[in-house]
Amino acid sequence: MPNNSIHVKGLQKSYKKLHVLRGVDFEVERGSIFALLGSNGAGKTTIVKILTTLLKQDGGTAAVNGFDVALKPDYVRQSISLTGQFAAVDEILTGRENLIMIAKLRHIKNPRQVADDLLNRLGLADAADRRVSTYSGGMRRRLDIAMSLAGKPQLIFLDEPTAGLDPEGRIEVWKVVKELADGGTTVFLTTQQLEEAEQLADQIAILHDGRIIAGGTLAELKKLFPPAKVEYVEKEPTLEEIFLAIVGEKGGK
């Protein structure tokens, strides 16, 4: 087994005249959390789609778990799962039915058992038999992630997992991502929130103008900055801290 979970070299992709990816290179270590940072339209989702075999690149190579995504898509699909930018859940089914469906498609032995476990793990047990159309944004996202966990894939792609979530929902998702990585799963996530990358990622890459312009650990990235100088700043709590302190009494439900 190669030590790298993802290996991307010289990746290129254009949509008609728009040259989105102009030679992207990066590697993701097995078992790490990798954050791809970039603004809207930078091409983050395009990279995710190529790595998850949904889109073919125009040039360069990409390998996932040692398999070339263009040549061996079926092998790649065995070991990954995708949580796309928009919650890919079935609104008309219940949460439990959604999970059982995915578990069956992964040909897992006890789909019901797996569904129950995941519902408990992501705090959806109470809402298990309600239709997803009644779920809140955060619950929908958690179900979405739960569906990606069925079958314990080695590598999980999360495309902007916290976009559109309230601060509580975001913290819930962060917790799940950290637990995943602790369990040895490789996590590839895209985000445009710097704080998210800072909170979660072992490795960070910044995508800009179709290339990775900087990459490394947070500490390495910080070194690119001029050395720190000490300044006296009066720190007031941010609105987010106030919000979380007030609603925190409800407890991390």
Given 52, 57, 186, 203, the residue binding other proteins (CB under 8 A):
52
Place of tokens 């159309």: 133
Given 75, 167, 192, 216, the residue binding other proteins (CB under 8 A):
75
90 makes contact with other proteins (CB under 8 A): yes
Q: Which helix (H) or strand (E) holds 178?
A: helix 167-182
C-beta of 225: minimal distance to other proteins in Å? 37
16 makes contact with other proteins (CB under 8 A): no
Task: Provide the 3-class DSSP secondary structure of residue 227.
Answer: coil
22 makes contact with other proteins (CB under 8 A): no
86 makes contact with other proteins (CB under 8 A): yes
108 makes contact with other proteins (CB under 8 A): no
Q: Which helix (H) or strand (E) holds 158?
A: strand 155-159
Choices 25-33, 74-82, 206-214, 244-252; region in contact with other proteins by CB under 8 A: 74-82
HEC letters along 24-81: EEEEEECCCEEEEECCCCCCHHHHHHHHCCCCCCCEEEEEECCEECCCCHHHHHHHEE
88 makes contact with other proteins (CB under 8 A): yes
Choices 8-16, 29-37, 99-107, 160-168; region in contact with other proteins by CB under 8 A: 99-107
Sheet of 155-159, strand order: 80-83, 155-159, 186-191, 33-37, 203-208, 211-216
Q: Is there a contact between 93 and 165 (Cβ–Cβ < 8 Å)?
A: no
Given 19, 31, 101, 211, the residue binding other proteins (CB under 8 A):
101
152 makes contact with other proteins (CB under 8 A): no
5 makes contact with other proteins (CB under 8 A): no
Given 16, 107, 109, 235, the residue binding other proteins (CB under 8 A):
107
Q: Which amino acid is at 223?
A: K
Given 9, 18, 58, 105, the residue binding other proteins (CB under 8 A):
105
d(CA 154, CA 53): 16
Given 4, 5, 53, 203, the residue binding other proteins (CB under 8 A):
53
Q: Which of 208, 165, 199, 154 is nearest to 28 (CA)?
A: 154
Q: Which of 171, 92, 102 is nearest to 138 (CA)?
A: 171
Q: Where does this chain bind other proteins (CB under 8 A)?
A: 49, 52-54, 74-75, 77-78, 80-82, 84-93, 97, 101-102, 104-107, 147
